[in-house]
C-alpha cells in the first residue's frame, strides 16, 4: 500500500487528522486534497457502473411483447416440449410440484 493510501486509511478510520498529519509529517491540507481526489474518482467510477435509463415508449414495449408472443406461439406449434422448457425456465415454473 502506498504511503498516501496508508495516510488516508488512518484518516478515514477516525484516528484524528492532526494526529495522522503529524505522524506522517504532512500538511492537513494535503490530506484533505488527497481525500477529495479519491472521493471524486470513486464517484466517477460508480457513475460508470450505474445502468443507463431505458427510454422505451409504450408502443415500443408493446411491439416487443407482441413479437415475443408470436415467437412463443410459433415455438408452441412446432415443438411443444421445447416451448414448455423455455416457458418453465423463463418463469421458473416447477411442474413436478403441482
Has this prediction a pTM greater than 0.85? no
| Alpha-carbon distances, residue 24 vs 5, 17, 92 (angstroms) | 12, 11, 58
Q: For the residues 35-60, what does the mean pLDDT come to? A: 81
| Cα diameter, the chain | 78
Q: For the residues 78-96, what does the mean pLDDT come to? A: 69
What is the CA 10 to chain-centroid distance, rounded? 28
State the DSSP code for 95. G
What is the band of 63 on the pLDDT scale with cuts at 50, 70, 90?
A: very high
Amino acid at each position: 500500500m502506498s504511503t498516501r493510501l496508508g495516510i488516508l486509511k488512518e484518516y478515514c478510520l477516525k484516528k484524528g487528522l492532526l494526529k495522522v498529519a503529524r505522524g506522517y509529517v504532512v500538511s492537513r491540507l494535503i490530506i484533505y486534497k488527497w481525500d477529495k481526489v479519491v472521493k471524486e474518482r470513486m464517484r466517477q467510477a460508480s457513475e460508470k457502473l450505474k445502468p443507463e435509463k431505458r427510454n422505451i415508449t409504450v408502443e415500443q414495449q408493446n411491439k416487443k411483447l407482441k413479437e415475443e408472443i408470436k415467437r412463443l406461439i410459433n415455438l408452441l406449434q412446432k415443438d411443444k416440449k421445447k416451448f414448455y422448457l423455455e416457458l418453465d425456465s423463463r418463469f421458473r415454473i416447477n411442474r413436478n410440484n403441482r
